[in-house]
Amino acid sequence: MNATDCARLSTDELVRRFAEAAKRAGCYFSGSWGFPSRRTPESKQADIDIQPIGAELKARKPVAKLRELFDDPSIDVRFWAGAQFVGIDPEWATAALNGVYQNLTTREVLDLRSRVLAGPPPHPALESMSEEELVAYFEDASCRCYASTRFIDEEEGGGESNMTAWNATSTEIGDIARELRDRGSLTALLPLLDHRFVTVRQKAAIYCRPVAAERAIAVLEAIASSQDWPDHSCAYRALENWRGGNSPSGAAG
């Protein structure tokens, strides 16, 4: 199919054909796209087929229809749409690509971005919150911490590599942990050691060490040996501090 053929098609048909071609082309992140020498003739042809379709959609700029591609259940479709249409709808396209990289849906990424940019949710004084509320707040803050370095650019994050947002949220987390510690309730954080987000696991492990040392240290060692920046660095430093006899305030014990 060439550019002239694409120009004759409706936008709905172009979107349908783009999705179909993206699924045939595959992508590295879905495991359907290996080294070039291992790709099938069909997937290579799909790479060619998708180009004039994408070019026509770029010319038309049907944002609402493109968002259907960004939000498609197929990781291949989200990857190709994000890569092709970032100049038309940068927020959704970037969210689609970030979701592919982090194994999240596009809407999950958009939600996490919104939560970071909105800042801490309104809440009563920590001392008046229930244990359940404190744990939920700890999880929310840790999720925002996770998102701040992955889904927020430098201008939005307020500093180089978005560490300003990371550090501010880490302060929230420390305050919550101290309140739980003062109540003798750090064990309430133990379920978060199995959280899907590495930052939640990392933060929970730091503060759970006094009450579940073996589990917490195992979690931190796994993170420290990973490539999950900046969590691997934080986990490594926490382990080194403990081995040197130091603990973060809120995790003493």
Q: Is the dihedral of CA 17, 21, 23, 27 positive or negative?
A: negative
Does residue 162 contact residue 154 with C-beta atoms inside 8 Å? yes
Q: Which option is the CATH number for 3-103: 1.25.40, 1.10.357, 1.10.3470, 3.40.50?
A: 1.25.40
Instruction: Compute the average pLDDT of residues 117-141.
Output: 95
Beta strands in the chain (DSSP E): none
Continuous H helices in 183-212: 198-208
Model confidence pLDDT, tens digit, residues 228-245: 889 999 999 999 988 877
Model confidence pLDDT, tens digit, residues 50-70: 999 999 999 999 999 999 999
Does residue 88 contact residue 63 with C-beta atoms inside 8 Å? yes
Q: What are phi and psi of 238, to 5 degrees?
A: -65, -45
Give the separation between CA 230 and CA 3, rounded to whole angstroms. 45
Task: Report the first-to-last Cα separation within the chain, whole angstroms.
Answer: 68
Quick one: which H or E segment has residue 239? helix 231-243
Model confidence pLDDT, tens digit, residues 153-162: 765 544 444 6
Model confidence pLDDT, tens digit, residues 11-57: 999 999 999 999 999 888 877 655 555 678 888 888 888 999 999 99
Is 116-243 CATH 3.40.250.10?
Answer: no
Model confidence pLDDT, tens digit, residues 186-233: 999 999 999 999 999 999 999 999 999 999 999 999 999 998 889 999
Model confidence pLDDT, tens digit, residues 66-115: 999 999 999 999 999 999 999 999 999 999 999 999 999 999 999 999 99
**Same topology for domains 3-103 and 116-243, yes or no?**
yes
Tokens representing residue 67 in the block: 């968002």
> Phi-psi category of 165—alpha, beta or left, where left has phi over 0 and alpha has psi -120 to 50?
alpha
Tokens representing residue 80 in the block: 């190709």
Q: Is the dihedral of CA 113, 116, 118, 123 positive or negative?
A: positive
Does residue 15 contact residue 50 with C-beta atoms inside 8 Å? no
Give the separation between CA 19 and CA 25, rounded to whole angstroms. 10
The domain limits of the chain are 3-103, 116-243
